[in-house]
Chains A and B, each alone.
Chain A
Amino acid sequence: MANIHLENVTKHFGRVTALQSINLEIHHGEFFCVLGPPGAGKTTLLRLIVGLEKPDEGNIYIDGERVNEVHPRDRDIAMIFQNLALYPDKTVFDNIAFPLRERKMPPEQIRTKVTQVARTLHIEHLLERKPGKLSGGERQRVAIARALVRTPRAYLMDEPLANLDALLRLEMRIELKRLQEDLHETLVYVTSDQVEAMSMADRIAVIYKGVLQQCDTPDNVYNLPANRLVATIVGSPPMNFLACKVQRTNGQLNLVHSGFGFQVVGADHPLWDCLCRALPTVQEVLVGVRPEDIKLYPDQPTHLIAFPARVAVTEPLGAETIVDVQLGRDIIKVITPPTEYFSEKQDVWVAFDMAKVHVMDAQTGARIYTTGAPGQLQCMLPGVCT
């Protein structure tokens, strides 16, 4: 039962800024993911919430109470560490019982609670073993059990699945999600795996180099990324970015790339407004298209405008094939169904899904505009307008 609120939180380690003016509001009962590459400051964020670090600036509130100076033991928040931090010399039972013993709970009550939690996590047969004798998944469950047993106000998890192998990770992911739905408690989950974040979270906060880039639902983070970094971190393979020159000729606005061109039709087009009035000095933009929003054709399609390109390599993944295509001077990645076969060095035609094109500022990376069905752009073949 906890709302967690971070207000302008900044944390330095020596000369390194780990977190820079973070503002976050984590709601009660929410599955909240913090996503970012290694070293982004995600773990520091968790440690600040749980109280293992103190913020240099800003405030942390739990249920409206300022907790900057509160000792971790009094915050009543459970944390699962990346390496799980099971006590190696204690049995599974003693590991799970530890938080209860610290709270001076009577032994009979501890026994019932531990057994009960062990049963929900299917580890009741392991209670007398030591962590060293358990498999990765079993240890994972013990760590979760140790957090569950004390029924804290919120759960924090620091890449708890990072050390498991791929299949087990899939399994545990599902189990965690189900667990959270049953508990309906606040869960802050730190991960560098965008699949985990996308599949489990109610909301995702994307952090890069200590700066909060975006905090939104998975859907919005994926479809309306705030900037280039978010679009790179979320989605695999990441979004393709193509540097285009902005040409403003009388009555015409064109985005020109070495392999293709876009025409912004009509002075009432929102992008026209952005690029000519709001940001009149922008000379270059990045056109971002997700690999699944691009289609490849072996022959020039007749019903839409496509651009000539050439296959560099193909990466078959089974369920889909990623084709690396040389388009102009850039290489872009395209997801194709395995039924379509492309060979290396093959000449192909590239067509974008014009309702899903993002335009980003080339300098700052911030998203300027995303096309939708009504605000599409018009395609031009390369060299049509120079």
Chain B
Amino acid sequence: MQKTPTWQRVVRYALVIIVVGMFTFPTYWMVTMAFKPKVEWSTAHGTIYWVPKNPTLENFDTVLTEYRGQFFRANQSSALPSIRSSIIVSIGGTLFALLIGTLAAYGLSRFSVDTGDLPWYVALGRLALLILVLLPFMVLWAWLGIIRYWYGILTFTILGIAADQLIGRLLGRIYRGPTGSLAFSILQLRMFPPMAIVIPVMIMWSAFKLIDTWYGLVAVYGVVTFPFVVWLMKSFFDEIPRELDEAAIVDGASNWGAFLKVVLPLAKGGLASTALFVFILNWSDFLIALLLTTRDWPTIPVFLNSLVSSEIGAQHGPKAALGLLAVIPPVVFGILIQRYLVRGLTFGAIKR
């Protein structure tokens, strides 16, 4: 083995330190800020405190109990209700997505339906989706008078469909997955910028009276994270030899029995890591919760947002404190399922 020259090693370590710093400094700053008194976290005095001089729990106190100020949307004086809201809707959304997503993933993994007619179903499905997404826009705009004529809506829709078909075809040419187009079109659901669909969803939800309810949020979270569950779980199911469920069926299990007793226990690790991933997505969502909640069910990110306004200024200290609290559930969840996460990673090794 040759020795690496000294200067190379210096550069290497310097790079490592810079990268590590970039990752850890924000965390460090948030954690310390949570324990700084107002004098230290506020920028008003022009002094920067790298380490808290007089550590205090004042920020936690403010954010959980005392804080009374002007809120942008959340008419609450404490963050406790929003913590409750976050926990309920994140867990609910995760369970919902796991339930439907795992079943869909198993179906896609096992019962390949890629026969002659499939492209048609996919095209139709995508079309329906597009109309669902675009139509509320059209209606809204027509109603507001942006597009005056109904045939304008039609033109717009047709243009949209054409664009979608074009994109779909191009993507289909590049991507050739094992279960092909159907699975891919599910992932395509997530290729819209969330901003584009959240307005129509809001319109729909207000019509269904689902705005500012926990089940309304759970439904949206479930649907939005569903594609991820399908894709992650499908890859886990693909790893499990098909013969295992077939053996179970031949041995006398029903199709459901084979799935529940043989396949699902083997996919535990995958299920756990998918759950964690989806939970984090839901937990940290801001946009959807911002638009779909008003008084009763704003989540932590929405509440955090309300800590900044023109009247009260930016409440950095309380914000950091709440941020620190918000980290706890995913971390605890992660630790709880760690055993399964490791299994999820070594999943390939248990084949036969």
Contacts and interface: CB of A to CB of B under 8 A. Distances in A.
B350 A88 contact: yes
Contacts of A132: 350
B266 A89 contact: yes
Contacts of B252: 73, 99, 102-103, 150
Given A84-B352, A87-B244, A102 B266 contact: no
Interface residues of A, number: 28
Interface stretch (A19-27, A75-83, A115-123): A75-83
A14, A51, A52, A88 interface centre (most CB from chain B within 10 Å): A88
Contacts of A98: 248, 251, 253
Summarize B's interface: helix, strand, loop or mixed: helix
B246 A81 contact: yes
A48 interface: no
Given A14-B115, A52-B246, A79-B247, A87 B253 contact: no
Contact of A72 (B244, B250, B350): B250
A131 B351 CA distance: 10
Contact of A88 (B116, B249, B251, B266): B266
A83 B250 contact: no
B241 interface: yes
Contacts of A131: 352
A119 B88 CA distance: 53
B186 interface: no
Given A81-B243, A102-B257, A50 B266 contact: no
A162 interface: no
A89 B262 CA distance: 9
B265 interface: yes
Contacts of B350: 88-89, 132
Contacts of A84: 352
B352 A86 contact: yes
Interface string B232-256: 0000000001011011111111100
Contacts of B266: 87-89
Nearest to B115: A14
Interface of B: 115-116, 241, 243-244, 246-254, 257, 262, 265-266, 350-352
What are the 10 closest A-B residue pairs judged by CB atoms, nearest first? A102-B252, A85-B243, A85-B247, A99-B251, A81-B243, A73-B252, A88-B350, A79-B250, A72-B249, A102-B253
Given A73-B251, A77-B250, A102-B252, 5 more contacts: A52-B249, A85-B241, A85-B244, A88-B352, A132-B350
